[in-house]
Structure 1
Amino acid sequence: MDITLSFSLSILVVLGFSLFSSLLLLRKRASFSPNTPPGSIGWPIVGESIEFGLSGPPKFIKKRMEKFSPDVFKTSLLGEKMAFFCGPKGNKFVFANENKVLASWWPKSASKVLLFTEVINEGQKVVAPLLANSVHDILKPEALKQYVPLMDSMARKHMETEWAPFKEVKVYPLSQKYTFALSCKLFMDEDDEDKVAKVLENFNTVTNGMISMPIDFPGTAYNRAVKGGKVLRDGLMKIISARRKELIEKKEIVRDDILSKMLLVTNENGRLMNEKEISNNIIGLLVASYETSSVAITFVLKHLAENPHIYDQVYEEQMMIAKSKQDELLTWEDVEKMKYSWNVARESIRLAPPGQGAFREALTDFKYAGFTIPKGWKIFWNVNTTHNNPKYFPDPEKFDPSRFEGAGPVPYAFVPFGGGPRMCPGKETLG
């Protein structure tokens, strides 16, 4: 036999045995592979990110809940294997297992734009509980009572200068301007209008680019966001450093903002939060409060304009409170009287949620709804698994504030504020 042919046959035999061994190994691995949720991971690398973006979360989620499972399904977004937890049971599981089998997670593209990434891994576990305590202390109903007059005062000034002089206004940018100024005041005791306006302009560049395609080339929105994020962090670091210096030198005036609390809180080992950790948390608070609040305000006004009979009832309730005030600033007791107005706001938030949900990461393998979620997988809970579901909200497309009268929706069906340790503190003011 020809030597070349003999060698070729030998190679083929070796390759054949190697292929057979590989198939057996893959089959063995498959027999031990975890029973992950049903679903599709889409195309290599991009997964189902394009379809998610094009169809939008409500349609994307509804289609997969119907096709795969109403409890949990798998997909691939942002280059990560991901499980979508659905329905009230899914929401409850995510909220109840924070810091147990689940931990907060941010996409790398967003972290790169917004945060000092070098302190996330080591600091996040320490900062999260400290932040939760600081935030909830300042935003508990008992503490918020003192902020209602300030909010009312800032709102009146804003309406007088930005709304009243004009026959026509653009609601969304004005809502952004007001909510950002309020956030800066509450979080950092900053009320210099020019400085706040400059920060807001830069902040919009950052948040707009953060949700664009993460292509970091000159001229792209994402590249502008990365550069803007550095400017934002540098500015915050100057504020934080100056405030810490005031504390050390005992020159700081009495303040009751979140930054002051962060500068003073320590963990169980007596360690103060470092300035980069504080910056990360302040930015996180600004992102969470500013955009969601301005979107909520905008859609409440939109829904009132589209439903004159509901507007009339809100107006009547507000006028009853105003007539009892004699031009005094609002108090917490006044806010508690706004029952119907709050039902209108809740229905608006249900139909047009300011936040779609949040990501988590599996800290270990765990079981849910008969399936295994492997360690390292990302979890996404999303308001659209319940807010648009006729099982929990009959005729879900209809604007109907009466849904929230009496007992209201079933537990964990209305979740615009999230839940558990990471629940939006703003719920304390309204719920």
Structure 2
Amino acid sequence: METITFFISLLVLFASLYYFYCKIIPSPRQQVAGYQLPPGSTGWPIIGETLEYLRTARNGVPEKFIADRRKKYSDVSVPSAAATEGSCKVFKTLLLGEPMAMLCTAAGNKFLFSNENKLVKTWWPAIFQKLFIDSTKLEYSKVTIHNRKAIFPFLKPDAVRKHIGVMDQVTKDHFGKHWSLQDQKQVSKFHSLVKKYTLALSSRLFLNLEDPQVIAKLEESIRHVSEGLVSLPIDLPGTNFNRAIRASRKMKKEIDSMVAQRKNDLMNLNMIDREQLENAPQDLMSSFLLETRFDGQELTEEEISKYLCGIMLAGFDNIINTLCATVIVLSQFPEVYDAVLKEQMEIAESKDEGELLNWGDVRKMKYTWNVVCEVLRLHPPIGGTFREAMTDFVYEGHLIPKGMKIHWNVYATHKNPEYFPDPHKFDPSRFEGHGPPPYSYVPFGGGPRMCPGKEHARYEILVFLHNLVTRFKWEMVFPDEKMVVDPVPLPSKGLPLHVFPRI
């Protein structure tokens, strides 16, 4: 009797879940004008194929989720002469509670990037919207477009080159303060140390902030937000998501006060002598405060504060995990390490004592950057982002209906042998000459939404690596430690190192 009751209860539960699933996730139209949805499966109700998507990532093979489905659906015919024979170029799935189309080729990347705000627009999962986006404000795409224009003067290559000396000084200060080498047997957790470096540099360049106590508060808030981004979106006391929401609000409140104070300082300068504005702090916050909005009005303190929070968070884990992956590569491939060391020592020996790095020095770091590019191919800091169809359109003979979500994933091309022969082999020479095929290498995205901080990230990484390899030697405590994706790349054990002075 108890067994029968159990199965009846289980049946009722599944029926209720399926009813709830059908109510909150309406099925997209299956056919329009003879075109059908892409082949694929939406998997289980509500959760879809999300668990499989995350499982392959945690197992270190995030590309397997896409490769398996491309192979499975490669023989499915399409009702359009425009479609070509061969591997599946688009399939449907259900991730994060949303029916999605996944485009699997470099041509698919190009299609999405070139149709931004034409056929597709940016879409974020609910967890991101809860933490970062306030839909009650101005139409988000318009604000995003303007903010990207406002940030470009600060992050464009010519402007970032002026920051190289500051980056070098902050890096030297970081190593002098946090890399104590009195005890030769001391173990340093690289992941934790590079967090301090990244936040110190971001605080200096974006906020003109050097107060260690305030930076420590920001670090705590960013840590909670980062943990919340990879947690279940359950907003209950004690959960990571709830802590992330509270930390996000706390961080914004802290930056709110900085923005208000900086605005008052700039107004005082303006009231006294406009020429003094030239001596105002040359950081991103000041740049925003002196900027106007697309409607001719100044950016509000609220807009500036929210965007600064996003910038601080966006550049945090991405730089950290790229540096971690690079250190692992340099540890495990002696020939790569030796070539990087040779290049960097030649630069160091050309400098006078106390002279900081400059643009000419960074231009000489060609092999080192090829190494970093190959690291970014194998361990991209972000697996991809999302779009939403603004209207019905046909892609490769399949219908993508209005409102359907679209996911582009870097692993679809980064580890695809069609674009990168022997894709799991570490080979910096892939980036010599003309480099990879267009739109196959996309760690920074592409099109109008390409990461505006690409050049900033490049210089920050190269300046750090220059100081690291010219000043220190190291050994990994766990020689076989790897980067895992959970759901962003990070070292599986925190990357503890035995660090030694080079001289």
Matched, 1:377 2:408: no
Deviation, structure 1 residue 30: 5.9
- From 311, 326, 333, the equivalent of 1:307 is 333
> Does the 8 A contact of 1:233 with 1:279 survive in 2?
yes
Query: For residues 139-288 of structure 1, what are the structure 2 equivalents within 5 Å?
Result: 139-165=155-181, 167-250=186-269, 254-288=280-314
Matched, 1:49 2:67: no
Q: For the residues of structure 1 that align with 2:30 and 2:423, how far apart are their CA atoms?
A: 42
Matched, 1:129 2:156: no
Larger radius of gyration: 1
One-letter code of the match for 2:68?
A: K
Deviations along 1:45-104, one digit per CA (max 9) or x if unpaired, are 222212211222322111112222531111111111211122110111111112222222
Name the SS of the counterpart of 1:196 in structure 2: helix
- From 136, 144, 164, the equivalent of 1:118 is 136
Matched, 1:424 2:451: yes
Name the SS of the counterpart of 2:381 in structure 1: coil
Residue of structure 1 in register with 2:318 after alignment: 292
One-letter code of the match for 1:145?
A: R
One-letter code of the match for 1:47?
A: G
One-letter code of the match for 2:72?
A: K
> Does the 8 A contact of 2:53 with 2:65 survive in 1?
yes
Q: CA RMSD in A?
A: 2.0
Residue of structure 2 in register with 1:15 after alignment: none
One-letter code of the match for 2:111?
A: F
Q: For the residues of structure 1 that align with 2:120 and 2:210, how far apart are their CA atoms?
A: 38
One-letter code of the match for 1:220?
A: T
> Does the 8 A contact of 1:130 with 1:265 survive in 2?
no
TM-score (structure 1 length as normaliser): 0.88
Q: For the residues of structure 1 that align with 2:294 and 2:241, how far apart are their CA atoms?
A: 39
TM-score (structure 2 length as normaliser): 0.76
Runs of 4+ in 1 over 4 A off after TM superposition: 29-34
Name the SS of the counterpart of 1:217 in structure 2: coil
Query: For residues 9-88 of structure 1, what are the structure 2 equivalents within 5 Å?
Result: 32=32, 35-56=36-57, 57-69=62-74, 70-88=88-106
Residue of structure 2 in register with 1:24 after alignment: none
Deviation, structure 1 residue 164: 4.3
Query: For residues 342-357 of structure 1, what are the structure 2 equivalents within 5 Å?
Result: 342-357=369-384
One-letter code of the match for 1:354?
A: P
> Does the 8 A contact of 1:116 with 1:276 survive in 2?
no
Structure 1 residue ranges without an equivalent (≥5): 1-28
Deviations along 1:180-226, one digit per CA (max 9) or x if unpaired, are 22112222221212211211111111111122011111111111112
> Does the 8 A contact of 1:126 with 1:267 survive in 2?
no
Q: For the residues of structure 1 that align with 2:383 and 2:30, how far apart are their CA atoms?
A: 35
Tell which deviates more after alignment, 60-69 or 199-208.
60-69
Name the SS of the counterpart of 2:187 in structure 1: coil
> Does the 8 A contact of 1:36 with 1:372 survive in 2?
yes
- Aligned CA distance change for structure 1 residues 375 and 193 (closer, same or farther; 3 Å): same
Q: For the residues of structure 2 that align with 1:361 and 1:346, how far apart are their CA atoms?
A: 29
Deviation, structure 1 residue 32: 4.4
Deviation, structure 1 residue 242: 2.2
Name the SS of the counterpart of 2:385 in structure 1: strand
Name the SS of the counterpart of 2:36 in structure 1: coil
One-letter code of the match for 1:316?
A: K
Deviation, structure 1 residue 266: 2.2
Q: For the residues of structure 2 that align with 1:312 and 1:258, how far apart are their CA atoms?
A: 37
Name the SS of the counterpart of 1:76 in structure 2: strand
